[in-house]
Structure formats: C-alpha cells, structure tokens
Amino acid sequence: MKRLAAALAAAWLCASGGAAVPLAGPDQTLIDGDTMPRKLSEFGLFRAGGAQLVDGVTPYGLHTPLFSDYADKARAIWMPAGTRADVDGEGRIAFPVGTVLIKSFSWAGQNQGKPVETRLLIHRKDGWAALPYVWDADGHDATLAIGGRRVPVSFTGPDGTKQAISYAVPNKNQCKECHAEAGAIVPIGPKARNLVFAPKWKAFESGRFGWPANRIAPLPRWDDPESGSVAQRARAYLDVNCAHCHNPKGSASNSGLFLRWTDDPAGVNYGIGKRPTAAGRGSGGMAFAIKPGDPDHSFLIYRLESLDPGIAMPELGRGAVHKEGAKLLREWIAQMPEGKNN
C-alpha cells in the first residue's frame, strides 16, 4: 500500500525543473486535431518549464502495473469538460473522444528523478493515437520521438544491484503492436479492475466515470500477499504484462497462449501443459510453456528471464529482467500439482 501511495503521489508531484507557471489548461483543439506537435508543452498538459501537471489533469494509479525496466511511472488522465467515461458490466471503459492518457517514466538515480520519457495516448475521432516524447536534458520540455530512441539509463534495483541499460523509447509502430486489439490501438492499463485513484481524487472518479451498479472486483496487487493468493497474483501479473498481446485479438494470437485475467481458464491455452506453437527458439528446447511443479523446465519462465532479443518476453518494453515478477511466477508454478490445472 505504501508503494502504491508513493506512486500516486509522484504522479502529481513531478519535479518541475523550473518555475511552475500555470497554463490556462490543455489545448483541446490541438488534442482533437490530427497533428503531432514537436514539443510536449504545446498540449498544455504540464505547467511551463517542467513535468508538473496543470489543474484539471488527474493522476491515477494501477493495482498491478506493467513492468518497464524498474521505471517509476506517473500516470494521469485528461477528459474534456462535460464528458465522462462509461464502464460496462465487464469492466471495459469507453473513454470519450478528447481523452488523453499520460504516462511519464523516471528513475530515482537518473537526472535527479526527472522524467526521461512521457507517452501520450490520445483518443481522437478516428481512434487512439500514441505519441512518445523524450525529455530534453534540462528537463524543461520533451521532444517528439516518433521513430523511437535509445536512452542510457542507470538505476539501482530493489535488491540493491546497480544496473545500466539502454532504455528503448518505442517507435509509433511498436506502440501499435502492444496496444493493438483487432488491429486498432486501445489503452492497456486503465481497466476498471486495475484502475485506482487516491482519496483526494475520488470525486473525479465518481463524477466522471459511469460505473455499473455492481462494481467489478479489483485486480490483486502482484507484490502484495494480502491482496490475493500466489496463483491470483501470478495471474494478475500475466494479465497486465502479457495479455495485451496474448489474447485472441492481440498480436500474439497465433501462439494459442492466452493470459487474460477473467476470460481464459487456467488450462492448456493458458500455458499449463501447452506445447510450443509459435515460440521458435524461445522454447529453449522445453516441452511446455508451464510444466506444473517445475519452473526450471517451463519456457514461460525461460523467456521472462532472458534478455536475448529472439527469446525474451515481452518482446518490447524491457531491457532488464524483472527478477521479482519471475520469482512470483516460479513460486506459482512450483506449487502446481503435476497433472492438475491451477
């Protein structure tokens, strides 16, 4: 809970890198248009001179976030005045046109914790547009990197190990690959079961979201044993980190490996006792994606713990192994009785 609270606080207390001069507010005409501004500041989502949000842009968090090279991620949402997001009984959120989902990536040991990258997911009339911006060295503004970029990043992992990676800012096509559903770009993280607002933003949540009468149960927090069993937390981790591609409408549909939280029973199609279909050398010569009771011979673990571009999963979005996430999945597989689905 403390970690979640800190992440939520970081979303609205990003270092400004200069005097925090408030703007009039987001430029809705620019948001709704079809242009790709060269500078992030042109949208008016942040106060002049840094990464502090303007009034009206609301921070949010996730129960279980996507792993991205141990980055601290500050998330926020802008919806035009007078609009709301409708939520159906299955927890799907229909964000109104004009919505902007904002995600800034930073590391405590990198440039005094100032953001390295900010990604915008903008809902325009013809669908969602993904725009990555890399922050300038002085931290006062960020520049569009439509073709992607490599940024050297240094940080200390949770285990105290110092790491240096070449952080990959995705290009426009890579954004679409991860966010694709039946060929269209859609949001990944902010689903009803995963979305969480700090207490000070509850009025925004209740007033701007059309929740169904029966609220969907929240997703367990992968790293909080009090939020669910090992199996539940492992499945939550796979849903957030893998299921945006590993679903029947995703970019990994040909694998036959589907890892959604509620829609996929934990059987062969979930990887348990599943032989490789489209894994190539990613199987490591192993017979099963998940071999109950034997994480060392489960190629799902093999791929999560690899940095080889031809083996590593996810294919995009990481240059470091998430040791803690892999440990949880190892524990889950080790607990599975042989020959029994979990």
Token pair for 76: 């926020």
In angstroms, the CA 317 to CA 66 distance is 9
User: What pLDDT was estimated at residue 221?
Assistant: 97
223 belongs to a structural domain: no
Q: In this predicted structure, which of 20-24, 59-63, 305-309, 322-326 has the lowest mean pLDDT?
A: 20-24
Residue 61 shares a structural domain with residue 145: yes
The neighbouring-strand residues paired with 83 are none
Q: In this predicted structure, which of 51-60, 209-218, 293-302 has the lowest mean pLDDT?
A: 209-218
Give the pLDDT band of residue 180 (cuts 50, 70, 90): low
What one-letter code names the amino acid at 341? N
Residue 143 shares a structural domain with residue 33: yes
Enclosing domain of residue 52 = 2-210
Going by C-alpha positions, the residue among 93, 96, 114 that lies closest to residue 105 is 114
Residue 237 shares a structural domain with residue 124: no
Q: What is the pLDDT of residues 227-264, one digit of tens each?
A: 999 999 999 999 999 998 898 888 888 888 899 887 76
Residue 318 shares a structural domain with residue 237: yes
Residue 189 shares a structural domain with residue 244: no
In angstroms, the CA 307 to CA 16 distance is 34
Residue 280 shares a structural domain with residue 151: no
341 belongs to a structural domain: no
- CB distance 47 to 74 below 8 Å: no
73 belongs to a structural domain: yes
Residue 155 shares a structural domain with residue 70: yes
Tell me the pTM.
0.87
- Each as own residue / partner, the long-range contacts of residues 31-38 (CB below 8 Å, 24 or more positions apart, any chain) are 31/78, 31/98, 31/100, 31/122, 31/124, 32/97, 32/98, 32/124, 32/125, 33/124, 34/124, 34/126, 36/129, 36/131, 36/144, 36/146, 37/144, 38/143, 38/144
Angle of helix 230-241 relative to helix 323-335, nearest 10 degrees, comes to 130
The neighbouring-strand residues paired with 59 are 76
| Dihedral Cα 140, 28, 196, 257, nearest 10 deg | -90
Going by C-alpha positions, the residue among 128, 13, 22, 17 that lies closest to residue 59 is 13
Question: How many structural domains comprise the chain?
Answer: 2
User: What pLDDT was estimated at residue 181?
Assistant: 67
Going by C-alpha positions, the residue among 292, 299, 305 that lies closest to residue 335 is 292
Residue 197 shares a structural domain with residue 48: yes
217 belongs to a structural domain: no
Q: In this predicted structure, which of 145-149, 219-223, 274-278, 291-295 has the lowest mean pLDDT?
A: 274-278
Residue 200 shares a structural domain with residue 308: no
Mean pLDDT of the chain: 87
| pLDDT at residue 22 is higher than 90 | no
Pairing, β 117-124 against β 85-87? unpaired
127 belongs to a structural domain: yes
The strands making up 93-94's β-sheet, listed across from edge to edge, are 93-94, 85-87, 209-210
In angstroms, the CA 25 to CA 266 distance is 46
**Vertex 103 angle, CA 130 and 244, to 5°:** 60
315 belongs to a structural domain: yes
| DSSP, res 291 | -
Residue 251 shares a structural domain with residue 123: no
Q: Which of 182, 210, 238 is the last residue of a domain?
A: 210
Q: Which of 157, 182, 210 is the last residue of a domain?
A: 210
Q: For residue 107, report the phi and psi dihedrals to the nearest 5 degrees.
A: -135, 140
The neighbouring-strand residues paired with 209 are 85
Give the pLDDT band of residue 115 (cuts 50, 70, 90): very high
Q: Is the peptide bond before 59 cis (omega within 30 degrees of 0)?
A: no
| Residue 340 CB-density burial (10 A; 0-12 exposed, 13-18 middle, 19+ buried) | exposed
Region 324-334 average pLDDT: 97
In angstroms, the CA 340 to CA 319 distance is 34
Q: What is the pLDDT of residues 270-291, one digit of tens each?
A: 889 999 886 678 788 899 999 9
Residue 25 shares a structural domain with residue 147: yes
Q: Tally the C-alpha atoms within 13 A of residue 315's C-alpha that lie toward its C-beta.
A: 13
278 belongs to a structural domain: yes
Q: Which of 166, 181, 210 is the last residue of a domain?
A: 210
Residue 256 shares a structural domain with residue 143: no
Neighbours of 216 (CB within 10 A): 18
28 belongs to a structural domain: yes
